[in-house]
Structure 1
């Protein structure tokens, strides 16, 4: 168990933003479903990305790992080499691979650990029931064993639980013999993640017709075509440094695509709505120290930004309200409860609602000992809040950042952070 003690100080400097975990998952899967060799460059090997690589290898895909790149030799027809699929703690790996695995017709068991074991999969269970696919789980939790082959046709699915279910079907349905249609039965949240999936599929030769995010038409018997891909920088990770720059000194985030489809690019507009100052030059975004103000933040399309925006709002003038955020309760932790509980321990004034937060900003926070809830985004958001604390901040289970951003603490230190790290058993 790793502890980090942060002695409050302002951060400044330049940081190369890690590459998009969301884009990397998608590139590895599309390359793995292609006949031929694809090269994926600019890869950060977070625990989640490693989980997807291992899962695809378990389906017969050959993946050669270099320092910051992957060579993927895909298969048009997957051949599972092991019936057990370990998804570690990666929700994307699990939800993307379940329908892909179900195209093989083989018996497969999906395992995981941590919070992933209990994250909801009912959207898939409804499909399995309708198609009479055999499956078994541990009282609704992992491990999940499936046996049977997906059939083409109509797929009705909610759009307000997780876009990962829709993306998972988009990867799998083009491989089936007949044409399929995904019908969204509620308002679709996290549309940008679906856009990211369709854009990556297009890069690998697969076409999907989008009918106003209400229906998606997917032709069967499509062939993925091998393609090289350079993974772009991740706005959800840049958000931590941009918030740190607003609260401290200038921070420049490098490696971002200003034309990105990532939903978390919304951080730029949200910062402006909070009176924060940023400048953009090419692939660089600079955050400039600002007296930020409260606003209303709709989290429906960018839920991963909520933890760091809560830290920023807690140190902004006035009141901020985060709305349409109920889905955060079924992430790596109950993020609404986690971030409000831990920031309040540091002296913030945050009220938790069923589907959001009310944050009454303060000039500074006190400090103290907090927990990460084994959630990478909670740990990093608490680190950002430490900048304007009057006393040290100790974060328990700080090593959870490896899930998405293995170099976070190193980068924090490079930007001027004053931190001590130590471990206590397991």
Structure 2
């Protein structure tokens, strides 16, 4: 794996934020389940999106990748002559979204679906699906702590009772398939629903493709059967999960204008702006361009329930804010690409951060600036790698970032953008 030597330097300029990975997953799936031909524009072919594209191809969608877009002939299109295999292998790579979205979709079809992956993906819980499979007599086998899941059987309309505090991805996965079944279904949420923004996003994208879901105050979702996804042309908006890195860069003293961030977006990670405002950042927006400045940052309480993916970079801001910041309800960060709470504590502490790790969060005491002058490690996690790159802009001394290539999972061109804004990086041979 590669290593970068990053010299502290202020970032300045404009950056086009990549398209939303969350929306791209959903648009590719909806178009693939349609009975016609769709064009999805503004797509980055990150590792996660490629995993979803190849998964839907395994189910019979005909997908042609072009520059920044895909053409999709839906599985149920009369013009789709692709013959689906009886037994299918779906390689989810390290994408939790791909896995949890596509497991239920596989239950639309006859034959066996074999889900594989790598990294920590096999450690992510799938018990919610296993309970459904047991109830509906769907055959499945799996291995502990690695992704080797085989599923055979078709899902039937039903009332599904699901916890809302594990991952909204289970709910989204069911939402994709239930409208296509021959009968009505209902999803009852048995606990408080976390990550409501992701469910809003799912319902909104599905509506764009002609499928309706009734949301009763996030406590139950009523889904009529025998609906059809319709083909359409769709443009993916900019990604607040990736934009958060540059919004936070602004908060700690850089001068970046982030482009393509929709003002009235339904993305849950748009909460980054509200959190940074509470900490003292003032933003100026012109349509989809936004930049911010902070005279003085102060600590706050950050609830990770609705925005777990932006906690790493918000932790950088917390380290450079006066007083104490408490990050709560963040236990899900332990089952991401790495144990992110542990990784944040370890790596930012190397830079001089004062961080206490708790079971479900972090306590961070503010400092003036990071020291640098050390080697830090991405933990092979894209969000930790990008977190450390942004932190370098407020270091006294150069850092060496180990295993930087993992950014390809979600933001393949991150370091190109970083350099275009003034970031100073060089390949570094550890030997």
Q: TM-score, normalised by structure 2?
A: 0.96
289-298 or 84-93, which deviates more: 289-298
Deviation at 1:146, TM superposition (A): 0.4
Structure 2 equivalent of residue 281 of structure 1? 286
Taking the aligned partners of 2:145 and 2:131, their CA distance within structure 1 comes to 12
Matches within 5 A, 1:214-293: 214-293=219-298
Contact 1:250 1:289 in 2 (8 A): no
Quote the Cα distance in structure 2 between the aligned partners of 1:204 and 1:250.
38
Q: How many pairs align?
A: 425
Partner of 1:25: 25
Q: Distance in 2 between matches of 1:111 and 1:229?
A: 30
2:336 and 2:25 map into 1 onto residues whose CA distance is 17
Aligned to 1:387: 393
The residue aligned with 2:193 is: 188
After superposition, the C-alpha distances for 1:196-223 in whole angstroms (9 at most, x for unaligned) are: 0000100011111101101101111111
Instruction: Point out the more displaced range, 236-245 or 287-296.
Output: 287-296
Secondary structure of 2:388's counterpart equals helix
Q: What corresponds to 1:57 in structure 2?
A: 57
Residue of structure 2 in register with 1:12 after alignment: 12
Q: Provide the residue aligned with 1:90 in structure 2.
A: 95
Q: CA deviation at 1:79?
A: 5.8
Counterparts of 1:44-123 in structure 2, within 5 Å, are 44-76=44-76, 80-81=84-85, 83-123=88-128
Match of 1:377 in 2: 383
Please say if 1:155 is aligned against 2:160: yes
What does residue range 233-382 of structure 1 map to in structure 2 within 5 Å?
233-367=238-372, 368-382=374-388
Deviation string for 1:222-259 (max 9, x for gaps)? Answer: 11111111000001111101111222332100011101
Query: Counterparts of 2:305 and 2:274 in 1: how far apart (Å)?
Result: 15
Q: Which consecutive residues of structure 1, in runs of 5 or more, have no partner in the other structure?
A: none
How much does 1:331 deviate? Answer: 1.1
CA distance in 1, matches of 2:74, 2:296: 51
Aligned to 2:40: 40
Verify the 8 A CA contact 1:37 1:71 in the aligned structure 2. Answer: yes
Deviation of residue 290 (structure 1)? 3.4
Preserved contact between residue 12 and residue 245 of structure 1 (Cα < 8 Å): no
The answer on whether the counterparts of 1:156 and 1:182 sit within 8 Å (CA) in structure 2 is: yes
Cα distance in structure 2, aligned partners of 1:100 and 1:35? 15
1: CA distance, partners of 2:401 / 2:172: 34
Q: Does the CA-based 8 Å contact 2:59-2:75 persist in structure 1?
A: no
Please identify runs of 4+ aligned residues in structure 1 that moved more than 3 A.
77-80, 422-425
Matched residues in 2 for 1:327 and 1:305: separation? Answer: 12
Please name the residue that 2:416 is paired with.
410
* Conservation of the 8 A alpha-carbon contact between 1:317 and 1:361: yes
Relative to structure 1, the CA distance from residue 258 to residue 127 in structure 2 (aligned partners, 3 Å threshold; closer, same or farther) is same
Cα distance 1:423–1:220, how it changes in 2: closer, same or farther (>3 A)?
farther
Shift of residue 140 of structure 1?
5.7
Report the Cα offset of residue 288 of structure 1.
2.1
CA-to-aligned-CA distance 1:22-80 (integer Å, 9 cap, x gap): 00000000000001110110111111001101111111100111111111100228963
Report the Cα distance in structure 2 between the residues aligned to 1:116 and 1:388, rounded to whole angstroms. 33
User: After superposition, what is the alpha-carbon deviation per residue over 1:320-343, rounded to whole angstroms, capped at 9, x for unaligned?
Assistant: 011111111111111111111110
**How far apart are the structure 2 equivalents of 1:129 and 1:214?**
23
Shift of 1:423: 6.5
CA contact (8 A) 1:18 1:44 kept: yes
TM-score, length basis structure 1? 0.97
Between the aligned partners of 1:5 and 1:157, the Cα distance in structure 2 is 46
| DSSP-derived class of the 1:297 partner | strand
